[in-house]
Chain A
Amino acid sequence: MTEPPVIVAEALAQRFGTRTIFRDVSFQVTPGEVFVILGGSGCGKSTLMKQLIGLLTPTAGRITVRGQVIAGPGAGKARAALHHDIGVMFQSGALFGSMTLLENVMLPLEVFTDLPPEGRAAVARVKLALVGLADAASLMPAEISGGMAKRAGIARAMAMDPPLLFLDEPSAGLDPITSAGLDQLILALRRDLGATFVVVTHELASIMAIADRCLMLDRAAFPDAGGVIAEGDPRRLREESTHPTVRAFFRREPLQAA
């Protein structure tokens, strides 16, 4: 029997005041896959990610993570415990500026485990080595490049070895070489650690390199709101989709005015 899905999203909607960002967003994420949420600017992909990581309460719908309902009908205290199961890399790394990279990765270990200081440092060093930053452990966030900051953010997200990792726009602002390096890192981590990745991005090259399946949002999916316009293997979507926005996205063409 196949493993149960690690995330189940049912009919998610998000409204701010009178503006509906999206509605009727439903999908599942299988364990061990790289699931990419993509779409044009303003489609709500960052909003959707915030719902999945517990920073935003959906206006409607239900989210179940690893069998626990964290939002919507039936949500109990599971949301408060969500942090045990997930690690999040924010867009620019969101490293704590007053701590070295090593201290950044050690922080969750300090708060949530009984590891002695040497143990914490060892675990943190292993995580930094995994992302290729072993030599930069004593540097401060202000002293490293954007690409290094994102890698450090991933290392920190992995500090407690969560089974589910969220990456917000990992390639944003990176040159093609660094971006490709990050893609390879994500695939290597998935292979070595068996973690599930949910990646929000709109970089075509990354999507094609890493995504097993993807979910495409569009702000004009409905007349009054955004929503899902495509789901599935991005390579298949590129070849077979008949939706104009999906085709334009994957072929990197401007949308033809009707």
Chain B
Amino acid sequence: MPAPVRLSVMEQAGEVVLAVTGRLDAQGAGAIWNATLRAGAAARGRPLAIDLSAASFCDLDGATLLAAAEAAHGAPATLRGATEHVAALLARARTGVAAPVPPPPASHAGPRETLAAAMALVAGAIAYLGETAIALVHLPRHRRMFRVADFLLYVLQSGARSLPLAMLLGYLMGLILAFQSEVPMRRYGADLFVADLVTIALVRELGPLLAAIILSGRTASAFAAEIGTMKVNEEVDALTTMGIDPTVNLVLPRIAAVMLVMPVVTLVLEFAGLAGMTTVMRSFGFPLVTILHETQGAADLTDLLGGLAKSMAFGLAVAAIGCRAGLATGVGPRAVGLAATAAVVGGIVSTIALDGIFALLFYRLGL
């Protein structure tokens, strides 16, 4: 067990002597750092000496402590009981401790810079929408850049593999909605109409919304991470220099896949939700026939198709934002993580914003 490092401060013949015992490495220096600097500062105006004769070892980190103590004292100290090697280390440490600390770079986070960054973001988003639209227009000419195998893979990953989660979430949502509304509605004798309420809520709003949120979390982040990693790896540049448009090759298949699967995921979620609602209603004693009758009467085809159309629009937004976040990935290890986060947040926010627009639109259209 190495001897613990200890500092003793003595006054001898008008000079202050700092004596160090033990192993003066980084650990040792850490143990006595504050005490040593305090002693050095307290000895200002008087000659300072450092005695290392009882120190078993001193490396550059230990020498740094000594140099820092000298700096606190204000004048070089006399070194006693040290080898030539340690004296040389102390000389090196003195230069390092004395070097002026460069000021941190001025932070450019003023209001003007933030506004400029925000406008650049908007401009980038508009440019991206334009590029995607142009890629779509040129698709017939560039159809070989759109790989059907990739498209099918995305359909599998974003669609088929999302179904279990959609069923679970849908069922629970239907269950919770029905249960929560059952109690207050019973007070007005309207508990039968919980079936109508949950059906309308699911088919018009919650189905598409929840499906979009599921895909935003699962798929948009995956797209952002995949494309972001490709960008960091220069694979996107490689496609460009080969003459293969990355928008046609990477973005369009993903958007098409998600727009295709969203109505299916939404439907599955809605049916699962109705099943959850039915579970609750049955437990409250309503016969299945009655529940089915209410459900059928509550929502018609227009509601259903309107909801599915919304879900396709949500899918477009979620996939487009996921791909955009990937293409906009910066450099460094954090960049891909940031891209994935931006994809999920952007997907959810845009879904809710679009939902509001649709609500207004449907109201105007009388749907």
Contact = CB atoms under 8 A, between A and B. Distances in A.
Contacts of A53: 241
Contact of B237 (A84, A94, A110, A112): A94
A152 to B, nearest CB: 12
Contacts of B235: 94-97
B90 to A, nearest CB: 26
Contacts of A112: 144, 243
The 5 lowest CB-CB distance pairs between A and B, nearest first, are A83-B243, A94-B234, A94-B238, A90-B234, A88-B241
A63 to B, nearest CB: 14
A111 B144 contact: yes
B243 A108 contact: yes
Given A90-B234, A91-B234, A92-B234, A54 B241 contact: yes
Nearest to A110: B144
A256 to B, nearest CB: 20
Give the interface centre of A91, A92, A94, A96 by most chain B CB atoms within 10 Å.
Answer: A94
A20 to B, nearest CB: 19
B244 interface: yes
A6 B240 CA distance: 21
B244 A55 contact: no
Contact of A55 (B145, B229, B230, B240): B240
Contacts of B144: 110-112
Interface string A56-97: 000000000000000000000000111110101011101111
A108 B242 contact: yes
A127 to B, nearest CB: 14
Nearest to B238: A94
B241 A108 contact: no
Contacts of B237: 55, 88, 90, 94
B83 interface: no
Given A86-B241, A88-B238, A96-B238, 16 more contacts: A53-B241, A54-B241, A55-B241, A82-B243, A83-B242, A88-B237, A90-B234, A90-B238, A91-B234, A92-B234, A94-B233, A107-B242, A107-B244, A111-B145, A112-B144, A156-B238
Interface residues of A, number: 23
A102 to B, nearest CB: 15
Interface in B234-261: 234-235, 237-238, 240-244
Given A110-B144, A111-B144, A83 B241 contact: yes
A211 B240 CA distance: 27
Contacts of B242: 83, 88, 107-108, 111
B37 to A, nearest CB: 34
27 contacts: A54-B241, A55-B237, A55-B240, A55-B241, A80-B243, A81-B243, A82-B243, A83-B241, A83-B243, A84-B243, A86-B241, A88-B238, A88-B241, A92-B233, A92-B234, A94-B233, A94-B234, A94-B238, A95-B235, A96-B238, A97-B229, A97-B230, A97-B233, A111-B242, A111-B243, A112-B144, A112-B243
Contacts of A80: 243
Contacts of B241: 53-55, 83, 86, 88
Nearest to A159: B242
Give the interface centre of B145, B234, B237 by most chain A CB atoms within 10 Å.
Answer: B234
Interface string B217-238: 0000000000001100111011
A239 B240 CA distance: 40
Interface string A195-225: 0000000000000000000000000000000
Interface in B273-287: none
Give the interface centre of A86, A108, A111 by most chain B CB atoms within 10 Å.
Answer: A111
A22 B271 CA distance: 63
B138 to A, nearest CB: 11
Contacts of A95: 235
Contacts of A156: 238
A124 B144 CA distance: 18
A186 B242 CA distance: 20
A142 B365 CA distance: 54
Interface in B103-120: none
B145 to A, nearest CB: 5
A253 to B, nearest CB: 24
